[in-house]
């Protein structure tokens, strides 16, 4: 494998493990088996390396989400499927976890990648919510609720040192959606 490739992969891993602030260029180099010179040849610095890593991580995440969102089943099935899909909960969201890091939020291109990813997801979810519930709900708001419940589930699970709060949160919301999708009173 090429050095540039190994550097990106190592940066992805270290950002997942330690966050952007905790990812040192030297640690990336060590893991990639590359020297200082190699890294600074391929990237202008830490932020540039992180951008390449985050771009790839975000693309992977969108691809995984799309598998469920564009998959088989009714719109409601797919929304519940998205909520309940398997995740490495204790690791945190590979994208969302960086939203608390000032080093990311204050670095334009890095925050933009977070924003782009969530905007992409919001669009997909809003469509499905509309398809599932019509105008019985505010689709944009409910799409945000779904995303927030997932992101917050990671927070609660990591705080608890236990993945159960994540499952509780998504189960709770899935229950509400299924109830809402049931026989209406009108």
Partner DNA sequence: GTCTATACAACGATAGAC
Partner DNA sequence: GTCTATCGTTGTATAGAC
Place of tokens 């909520």: 83
Residue 159 as a binder of a second copy (CB under 8 A): the answer is: yes
CB of 105 to DNA, least distance (A): 15
Give 40 or 120: the residue with its C-beta nearer to a second copy. 120
Please tell me whether residue 134 binds a second copy under the rule CB under 8 A: no
Interface pick for DNA out of 17, 41, 112, 136 (rule CB under 7 A):
41
Residues 22-61 that bind a second copy (CB under 8 A): 22
Dihedral sign for Cα atoms in the order 164, 143, 124, 99: negative
- The single residue among 25, 92, 94, 153 that binds DNA, judged by CB under 7 A, is 25
Burial of 14 (0-12, 13-18, 19+ CB in 10 A): buried
Cβ–Cβ under 8 Å, residues 6 and 51? no
Pair of tokens at residue 87 = 């995740």
Tell me the two tokens of residue 118: 């969530």
CA distance 96 to 88: 13
- DSSP tag of 45: S
Q: Which does 27 bind (CB under 5 to 8 A by kind): DNA, a second copy, none?
A: DNA
Alpha-carbon gap, residue 143 to 69, rounded angstroms: 13
Contact call for residue 75 and a second copy (CB under 8 A): no
How many angstroms separate the CA atoms of 106 and 3, rounded?
A: 28
Nearer of residues 4 and 111 to DNA, judged by Cβ: 4
Instruction: Name which of 1 and 185 has its Cβ closer to a second copy.
Output: 185
Which residue's CB is nearer to a second copy, number 52 or number 156? 156
From the list a second copy, DNA, none, pick the one residue 92 interacts with, judged by a Cβ distance below 5 to 8 Å according to partner type. Answer: a second copy
Distances (CA, A) of 25 to 5, 41, 74: 15, 13, 46
Residue ranges in contact with a second copy by CB under 8 A: 17-19, 21-22, 92-93, 96-103, 105, 111, 114-115, 117-119, 122, 137-138, 140-156, 158-161, 165-166, 168-173, 175-176, 179-180, 183-185
Residues at the site binding DNA, with contacts judged by CB under 7 A = 2-4, 21, 23-27, 33-38, 40-42, 45-47
């Amino acid at each position: 494998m090429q050095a540039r490739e190994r550097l990106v992969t190592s940066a992805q891993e270290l950002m997942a493990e330690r966050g952007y602030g905790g990812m040192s260029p030297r640690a990336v180099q060590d893991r990639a088996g590359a020297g200082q010179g190699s890294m600074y040849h391929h990237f202008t610095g830490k932020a540039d390396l992180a951008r390449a890593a985050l771009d790839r991580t975000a693309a992977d995440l969108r691809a995984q989400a799309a598998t469920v969102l564009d998959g088989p089943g009714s719109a409601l099935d797919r929304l519940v499927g998205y909520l309940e899909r398997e995740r490495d909960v204790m690791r945190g969201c590979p994208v969302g976890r960086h939203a608390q890091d000032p080093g990311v939020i204050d670095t334009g291109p890095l925050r933009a990648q977070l924003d782009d990813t969530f905007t992409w997801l919001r669009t997909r979810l809003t469509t499905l919510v509309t398809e599932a519930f019509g105008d019985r709900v505010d689709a944009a708001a409910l799409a945000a609720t779904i995303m927030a419940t997932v992101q917050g589930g990671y927070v609660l699970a990591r705080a608890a040192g236990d993945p159960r709060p994540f499952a509780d949160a998504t189960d709770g919301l899935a229950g509400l959606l299924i109830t809402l999708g049931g026989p209406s009173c009108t």
